[in-house]
Structure 1
Amino acid sequence: MRDRTHTGTGAAGGAPKAGSPAAVRNVVLVGHSGSGKTTLVEALALASGAVNRAGRVEDGATLSDHEEIEQRRGRSVQLSVVPVAWDDHKVNLLDTPGHPDFVGELRAGLRAADAALFVVSAAQEADAVAGACRAVWEECAAVGMPRAVVVTHLDTARTPFDEMVRICGRIFGQGDPDAVLPLYLPVRGPEGPDGHAPLTGLTGLLTGRVSDHSSGERVEAPPSGGRLESYRAARGRLVEGIIAESEDETLMDRYLRGDELDTATLVDDLERAVARGSFHPVLAAAPASGRGRQGVGTVELLDLVTRGFPSPEERAVPGVTTPDGAPRPAPACDAEAPLLAEVVKTSSDPYVGQVSLLRVFSGTLRPDDTVHVCGHGLTHPRDAESPRHEADVRVGALSSPFGGQQRPLDACVAGNLACVAKLGGAETGDTLSGDGDPLLMEPWPLPDPLLPVGVRAHGKADEDKLSPVLSRLVAEDPALRVEQNQDTGQTVLWCMGEAHSEVALEHLRTRYGVRVDTEPHRVPLRETFASRTVGLGKHVKQSGGHGQYAVCEIEVEPLAPGTGVEFVDKVVGGSVPRQFISSVEKGVRAQAARGVAAGHPLVDVRVTLLDGKSHSVDSSDAAFQTAGALALREAAAGTRVQLLEPVAEVGVLVPDSFVGAVMSDLAGRRGRVVGTEQDSGERTLVRAEVPEAEIGTYTVTLRSLTHGTGRFERAYARHEPMPPQLAERLREG
């Protein structure tokens, strides 16, 4: 925050130490794909001395040693942790994927972090910034997480820095754009042949000093005369913003009187406002060029992280309960307090097996400790609740993550991150506590996967392994859901989007050796009768010896949606003996479950048993069950059987400018718009009812239609009659 020449305290290859929670900073990087998050992390690692110019550490490993799937796709698909040392602090940089399909990895990063850097590219449109960042910014605001904004790609920008600041103020300001202001102004060099002027330094608005990188090394200098006018205007606005957030009420009076305010006082007030999440500085950054180690803005950014962002001690620990649900006070973030940690990510290593990334919230975790692992399972509208699990587990060796590498770790104090291998089958979201005082942390919000992909085993060997492997895949990635649909008999993998599904299927093949074939998702249809009808079921067989004899007459009438199947007995005179009434009902219900026309369950009908015949010797329970089923099938032949399709209640939240396009698209999906509601930030919530068959891939369409700014939720509403032409086409197909 204070402009000065800085060399950092991290030595190349040296692992930063965290002896106490006060020395730790956990910072998550958030941004859209292509914004430069990973490049920024590498630049910060270089500036701090964690890696050399080639991006290597002492053992020759590179910071960019990503999974093969990431190298092939050219984008991050998982959370990566890179610790660096700066001013006697350990800074854990949590690099998250920018693609919206991998929001589960982003949520894990948010859980492990105490502050957030929102990385936005000046080379991309404002809609891309809003689509990727606005919802996450609002989530951070709801819990008071400190945030700052880093603008990248100014060398090739289509948008100048001052315009990017205005865009960020509009998107992130939440009605107060003066809470999102720059701390530095970019300094540019002469234009090159391509018409772009390189970023060569920054001018500090509070100190007036310039960090000049034009020589390849960071050198401080006073601002040049040509920039003084823009500097004074930006500085005045920044000072006013700091005063507005200051707890010192005398500052405003002194400022209005024209008194010169002490720079140290302004910096202290700024750091406090940033730490409590009420002021959000904007910085520009570019990686180092030439032989220089410190890229433009990297020193300033590391200073902001260590001085302005809070330590874990200053952040509240998430709520905790006992395993049976009794509330407990959250322990303090203290290295000497009882242990409380959480598995924020689970991955598989081909050599060591399952690896759990832990955030220690309280106490100290050491190798060979015995801990209590408790998981509350995950609840999802399409799944049964997975069982809560508990076990006492011995912790093996600890390691500190460094990109794709692991470094030995003696102990992990409160506030720090560590990796543990083979932690007794622990899943993402599980809580670790002392074995004598088991606790359970409240779960973090998980996204609802809305893209269904039907999967089936490719061969017999794959079929035997598919179910347990899918369970392991979901345990690693809580943004995935597996549904075993009893109505369609289909195994459905619910994903966040196409990229998410492709990565999950590739992990099945390459990581677990299971081949699967995909198929279109089938929605569970139902059947019902269109009108009242009657049916006669006659099951008479005589082939010598004991025969079979049962006759029953039924009436079937349609009922209101959601009624199910009712069975009514109106037999008089004992034509069907009392002991066989239930047999007829069993046969009717069994046939209703199998369907009477297209093989879908029959619902919303009343079946009335009117009459029948029996034989004193040949009648039996099985015979009357068969007769009941035959009677229902005959009744179906005498009327039109309607196909019912599931209809979902859909809520689509989009910017106002996309409302018309979204409503038109929903209408094309046979949807009925039932209302709109104005939401904050110039957005509208469109409520509609849409057949589920029409919204299987809607998450992909909506993302394209709204440039990534729209999101939607869905919930089952009811089954409704399918249009006759579609039902006929389905029967013929």
Structure 2
Amino acid sequence: MGDKANTAAGAAGRALTADRPTAVRNVVLVGHSGSGKTTLVEALAQTAGALNRAGRVEDGGTVSDYDEIEHRQHRSVQLSLVPVGWDGYKINLLDTPGYADFVGELRAGLRAADAALFVVSAAQEADAIAASTRMIWEECAAVGMPRAIVVTHLDTARTDFGELTAVCASLFGGDDPDAVLPLYLPVRGAEGADGHAPATGLVGLLSERIFDYSTGVRQENPPDEGQRELIAEARARLIEGIIAESEDETLMDRYLGGESVDVKTLVDDLEKAVARGTFHPVLAAAPAADGGTQGLGTLELLELITGGFPSPLEHEPPAVTTPDGQPRPPITCDPEGPLVAEVVKTAADPYVGRVSLVRVFSGTLRPDETVHVSGHGLADRGHEDHDVDERIGGLTSPFGKQQRPMAHCIAGDLACVARLGRAETGDTISAKDDPLLIEPWSMPEPLLPLAVEAHSKADEDRLSQGLGRLVAEDPTLRLEQNQDTRQVVLWCLGEAHQDVVLERLRGRYGVQVDAVPYKVSLRETFGGAAAGRGRHVKQSGGHGQFAICEIEVEPLPPGSGIEFVDKVVGGAVPRQFIPSVEKGVRAQAARGVAAGYPLVDIRVTLKDGKAHSVDSSDAAFQTAGALALREAAAEVAVHLLEPVAEVQVLVPDEYVGPVMSDLSGRRGRVVGTDQAGPGRTVVRAEVPEIEIGRYAIDLRSVSHGTGRFDRTYARHEPMPSHLADKVREQA
């Protein structure tokens, strides 16, 4: 790598259209927020000729001109696609957000890609690198996705490329740190006034050539003697690391026996090991110098992508079934095969409506054809199951704010599709006469609640439609209409996710909402037995209202609900009005008797009553039943019950103590711990839900961003009296 002289195939002014899967490379960029992913994408696009010397596209914007929210917040909040052409290849660069709140966009990028570039900033602390990228690295490893590491911000003072490479090897190499090694070492220029020597070029460890980028255009030179000594040890280690991954089992013995291995053999073995996902090269990159067109390391990185990363043919597609779940034979990346594509991102364009970013896994997608859209498995998040036929609009290739028309999109490629009115992120697109469904990718569970109310009557009229469109875009967002608290709740991944949700509602859909305190679904129950008498007697001209009933109430075990028992004798309450009493009791129980929360786990026994031959009615006995229950509640202590959740927290071993202490401080009961692989522990606890409303945020702080948790409802338990008193006061 680094030995070929490539010529950029510019993409400016036209859409790149691949004619065969082997000419496509789908690469996702992963890294911590601020690591330089978007800057690297722009540097690669400029080197490939897709941007002008000023680093701009034709309309004066940049390839990162996607969302006004990103410009205001100065961070990426969504997945973006930048296709560039290089040496006869179409490279789809998928830029992902680095902030944990937008991990759903990252997962979508991983689904659409065949290889990953992990972008690490030389200015970052090792702890930040570990917290933000190790879990994603393990996800990629689990599916065998090829990975390489790119070091950015080399011009930051006091950076040490060798030390950072060692950190990456320890974090990502696992049992084999020699599987993470640099292909190039930075060449430093003259020291500045601050004593820092900027990186001006790279030395290729295999080719033993110097690649000088000081002028903004790569120039190749032989190394001097001092530079040869510098690279000798690193080169020997790299060669041994490559040979260890070689499919030629005799090569290591021959090398250790003194036989020289030619560079071509090493490069071929390196590319195969990278494509298999068993060797992970480390490279360095930086934007072009002023007036230059080629950023440091960008040519080498493009060579690695085209030569070392696999084509879509080498990436096993996801499993497919029929929409009703019947298994189907595995699909292959064949442009002539059955059409199978997946919506990996949904966005709203103010001019063309909904735009879907699609990865085609099989077949060929063409404009203006009728396709089948299937979406299953996320009904709990507001995404209803659907199987519909839709006529798609045009196919385009995005570049900044531009959308360039595409004639077709073959298996292995990506495109934007217009006018898919029903399609949502995660949906499958297939032929209308052969509908299929792709196995969905794993979505993180949103666990941070955001309760909202319409700001005005006009906003209330638009709220439902705005929320529906918002949920269609973002599968990590869950919409809940809580019947107990009568709140509209948006479950998000974090505070930054909440901010983006509110901003999109306001700016994109014109809906102004107010965030209100989230209410937990409490319950009420009787603390002992009590009796009540409901008397509803009114006289006004004509028919009056007359109903009297006497009840006894006793508590039942948790989970019993409400029992109604009829023990009236002698017809004191006519038979036709007994269901009316029960209806009134149940209606009052649903409204609560102390703090406005549903009453549960009681037995109500109707003992006696009185009726009038003319003035008694269904409505009168319903009212009497409700009054009787309220009178009984006034005679006894009414307990408030709070929901308790079973919580499972996955953290590195070093954070188990702080996590358990934090859970105990939330009135939680730790019930056990389990090992979850090397260096990981699952802490199991039962915690009142009122104490974990912000746990998605607090856990990040306690575990330095490395912890994850899930929770499930367990039961309702009595709330401590001092907390229950506060709730009653507020009610």
Query: TM-score normalised by the shorter chain: which range applies?
Result: over 0.9
Amino acid at match of 2:588: Q
Query: Residues 443-522 of structure 1: matches in 2 within 5 Å?
Result: 443-522=440-519
Q: Is it true that 1:567 corresponds to 2:564 in the alignment? A: yes
Residue 170 of structure 1: aligned partner: 170
Q: Is it true that 1:658 corresponds to 2:658 in the alignment? A: no
Encode CA deviations 1:58-117: one digit per residue, 9 max, x unaligned.
454532433222111111112111111112100000111111111222122112111111
1 CA distance for matches of 2:112 and 2:157?
32
Residue 592 of structure 2: aligned partner: 595
Q: 1:203 to 1:569 in 2, by over 3 A?
A: same
SS for the counterpart of 2:563 is: strand
Residue 49 of structure 1: aligned partner: 49
Residue 142 of structure 1: aligned partner: 142
Q: 1:230 to 1:682 in 2, by over 3 A?
A: farther
CA deviation after TM superposition for structure 1 residue 43, in Å = 0.8
1 CA distance for matches of 2:496 and 2:346?
20
Bigger drift between 286-295 and 108-117 goes to 286-295
CA deviation after TM superposition for structure 1 residue 622, in Å = 3.1
Amino acid at match of 1:420: V
Amino acid at match of 1:333: C
Residue 392 of structure 2: aligned partner: 395
- CA contact 2:83–2:399 (8 Å) conserved in 1: yes
- CA contact 2:24–2:413 (8 Å) conserved in 1: yes
SS for the counterpart of 2:696 is: helix
2 CA distance for matches of 1:216 and 1:573?
102
Q: 2:707 aligns with which of 689, 694, 710?
A: 710
Query: Residues 359-378 of structure 1: matches in 2 within 5 Å?
Result: 359-376=359-376, 378=378
Residue 320 of structure 1: aligned partner: 320
Residue 698 of structure 2: aligned partner: 701
Amino acid at match of 1:141: A
CA deviation after TM superposition for structure 1 residue 407, in Å = 0.9
Residue 182 of structure 1: aligned partner: 182
Gapped regions of structure 1 (runs ≥ 5): none
Encode CA deviations 1:355-412: one digit per residue, 9 max, x unaligned.
11111111111222221222225133xx5x6432232222222111113321111111
- CA contact 1:552–1:628 (8 Å) conserved in 2: yes
SS for the counterpart of 1:327 is: coil
CA deviation after TM superposition for structure 1 residue 125, in Å = 1.3
Residue 534 of structure 2: aligned partner: 537
Residue 416 of structure 1: aligned partner: 413
2 CA distance for matches of 1:111 and 1:474?
20
SS for the counterpart of 1:719 is: strand
Q: 1:555 to 1:157 in 2, by over 3 A?
A: farther
Amino acid at match of 1:196: H
- CA contact 2:383–2:471 (8 Å) conserved in 1: no
SS for the counterpart of 1:690 is: strand
1 CA distance for matches of 2:368 and 2:66?
30
CA deviation after TM superposition for structure 1 residue 23, in Å = 0.5
2 CA distance for matches of 1:61 and 1:72?
15
Amino acid at match of 1:394: R
Amino acid at match of 1:600: Y
Residue 721 of structure 2: aligned partner: 724
Residue 195 of structure 1: aligned partner: 195
2 CA distance for matches of 1:11 and 1:419?
17
SS for the counterpart of 2:379 is: coil
- CA contact 2:215–2:289 (8 Å) conserved in 1: no
Amino acid at match of 2:199: L
Query: Residues 278-297 of structure 1: matches in 2 within 5 Å?
Result: 278-297=278-297
Q: 1:57 to 1:634 in 2, by over 3 A?
A: closer
Q: Is it true that 1:103 corresponds to 2:100 in the alignment? A: no
Gapped regions of structure 2 (runs ≥ 5): none
1 CA distance for matches of 2:213 and 2:659?
48
Residue 672 of structure 1: aligned partner: 669
2 CA distance for matches of 1:218 and 1:607?
86
Encode CA deviations 1:479-514: one digit per residue, 9 max, x unaligned.
212111111111111111111111111111111111
Bigger drift between 547-556 and 504-513 goes to 547-556
Residue 225 of structure 2: aligned partner: 225
1 CA distance for matches of 2:84 and 2:678?
37
Residue 643 of structure 1: aligned partner: 640
Residue 247 of structure 1: aligned partner: 247
SS for the counterpart of 2:251 is: helix
Residue 441 of structure 1: aligned partner: 438
Encode CA deviations 1:163-210: one digit per residue, 9 max, x unaligned.
222222222223332222222222222222223221122222222222
SS for the counterpart of 1:581 is: helix
2 CA distance for matches of 1:483 and 1:522?
12
Amino acid at match of 2:480: E
Q: 1:612 to 1:204 in 2, by over 3 A?
A: same
Encode CA deviations 1:270-323: one digit per residue, 9 max, x unaligned.
211111212211111111113332222111111111111111111112111112
2 CA distance for matches of 1:258 and 1:425?
65
Bigger drift between 265-274 and 61-70 goes to 61-70
- CA contact 1:576–1:613 (8 Å) conserved in 2: yes
Q: 2:631 aligns with which of 631, 634, 637?
A: 634
Residue 259 of structure 1: aligned partner: 259
- Structure-1-length-normalised TM-score: 0.95
SS for the counterpart of 1:186 is: strand
2 CA distance for matches of 1:112 and 1:699?
27
Amino acid at match of 2:469: R
- CA contact 1:122–1:157 (8 Å) conserved in 2: no
1 CA distance for matches of 2:605 and 2:157?
75
2 CA distance for matches of 1:667 and 1:59?
57
Q: 1:613 to 1:230 in 2, by over 3 A?
A: farther
- Structure-2-length-normalised TM-score: 0.95
- CA contact 1:47–1:294 (8 Å) conserved in 2: yes
Identity of aligned residues (%): 72
2 CA distance for matches of 1:394 and 1:684?
49
2 CA distance for matches of 1:228 and 1:14?
44
Q: 1:539 to 1:203 in 2, by over 3 A?
A: same
- CA contact 1:398–1:418 (8 Å) conserved in 2: yes
Residue 687 of structure 1: aligned partner: 684
SS for the counterpart of 2:334 is: coil
RMSD: 2.1
- CA contact 1:199–1:286 (8 Å) conserved in 2: no
- CA contact 1:343–1:429 (8 Å) conserved in 2: yes
- CA contact 1:122–1:158 (8 Å) conserved in 2: no
Bigger drift between 118-127 and 187-196 goes to 187-196
Encode CA deviations 1:663-690: one digit per residue, 9 max, x unaligned.
3322332222222233335233222222
- CA contact 1:5–1:220 (8 Å) conserved in 2: no
Amino acid at match of 1:137: W
CA deviation after TM superposition for structure 1 residue 122, in Å = 1.3
2 CA distance for matches of 1:179 and 1:569?
76
| Total equivalences in the alignment | 730
Q: 1:527 aligns with which of 498, 515, 524?
A: 524
SS for the counterpart of 1:323 is: coil
Residue 349 of structure 1: aligned partner: 349
2 CA distance for matches of 1:495 and 1:181?
38
- CA contact 2:17–2:406 (8 Å) conserved in 1: no
Q: 1:441 to 1:674 in 2, by over 3 A?
A: same
